[in-house]
Amino acid sequence: MSELRELYQELIIDHGRKPRNFGKLETANRIKEGFNPLCGDKVTVYLQEKDGVINDVKFEGVGCAISMASASLMTQALKGKTLKEAETLFNNFHKLVIGEPSHIDLGKLQVMEGVSEFPMRVKCASLSWHTLMAAIHNDPNKVSTEA
Ligand code: ZN
């Protein structure tokens, strides 16, 4: 295993054990729940958005290390971003986890690239992002990776 991959793995384990921005966001004006029945991952994404800018974001949930680490990294990447930028991040993050080249610099999110080798894990990694998109689009449907 290369040094870079070891570093990535450490970051994922660290975020999985100690997720950042974890908890309920009392000031949230967009809240959405998502579920990945294949693995049992559940997340609730809280957004505090004003004039198209994400001022604050938190999440709650239970699940495997990949799903929790991905949600944790996502919240860190989103603060201060516009909804449109969030959507661009999602599109490129999705490319990353399915093994396609990303068109933008994904920063820390890059650590999830190893997931592309494990198709079952792609849903764990993208659950929080699908939930985020549903929150942004005010999608009334339930978010499930098996929908
Ligand atoms: Zn999972």
- Summarised one tens digit per residue, pLDDT across range 26-39 is 999 999 999 999 99
How far does the centroid of ligand 1 lie from the alpha carbon of residue 51, in Å? 33
How far does the centroid of ligand 1 lie from the alpha carbon of residue 2, in Å? 24
Strand partners, 31: 46
Dist CA 67 CA 10 (whole Å): 15
**Is pLDDT at 1 greater than 70 in this prediction?**
no
pLDDT for the residue 7: 83
Contact 86, 54 (CB under 8 A): yes
Please name which of 9, 2, 1 lies closest in space to residue 111, comparing C-alpha atoms.
9
How far does the centroid of ligand 1 lie from the alpha carbon of residue 3, in Å? 25
How far does the centroid of ligand 1 lie from the alpha carbon of residue 37, in Å? 9
pLDDT for the residue 4: 77
**Is pLDDT at 147 greater than 70 in this prediction?**
no
Rounded to 10 degrees, what is the CA torsion of 76, 116, 11, 126?
30
How far does the centroid of ligand 1 lie from the alpha carbon of residue 131, in Å? 14
**Is pLDDT at 46 greater than 90 in this prediction?**
yes
Interval 69-76 mean pLDDT: 98
Contact 51, 63 (CB under 8 A): no
pLDDT for the residue 146: 85
